[in-house]
Amino acid sequence: MKVKWRNMIAFDFYYALCLSEKSYYKQCKKLNIENPRPFLNEGANATTHLMRRGLKDLALVCIIVPEGITKIQIYALLVHEAVHIWQEMRDKLKENRPGAEIEAYHIQRIASDFMTDYSDYVKGK
């Protein structure tokens, strides 16, 4: 699967979904990340890797789909990781109390991007 980078323009923050270890390490190599952390944290089915390249903040969300996991559980993992990305964006702006709707819309956007990418992966696009 080709990794599709997304951007939150107002934040100058880029994020992407990696659905295989191979795609994760390929992206790290492309970004000149030396000694990248493991694809997933120990015992995790999904991990968000935060990094910086030049002046840009980046996040690679890695997920592995073990046998027996349901589509709902996969989408829940994607929402969980979307929240981590939103938290990083919020912290970057030093925003301690964003409005509830602003927060919800941003998490919805990020989660929707991941769900679209995952759905495309499953369909073989």
* Residue 125 DSSP label: -
Write down the pTM of the prediction: 0.89
> How far is residue 53's CA from residue 8's CA, in Å, rounded to a whole number?
16
Answer whether 89's CB lies under 8 Å from 43's CB. Answer: no
Closest CA relative to residue 3, chosen from 123, 20, 107:
20
pLDDT tens profile 18-45: 999 999 999 999 999 989 999 999 999 9
Beta strand 56-63 pairing with 13-18? parallel
Read off the DSSP letter of residue 70: -
Please, which pLDDT band fits residue 77 given cuts at 50, 70 and 90?
very high
DSSP 8-state assignment for residue 2: -
pLDDT of residue 54: 79
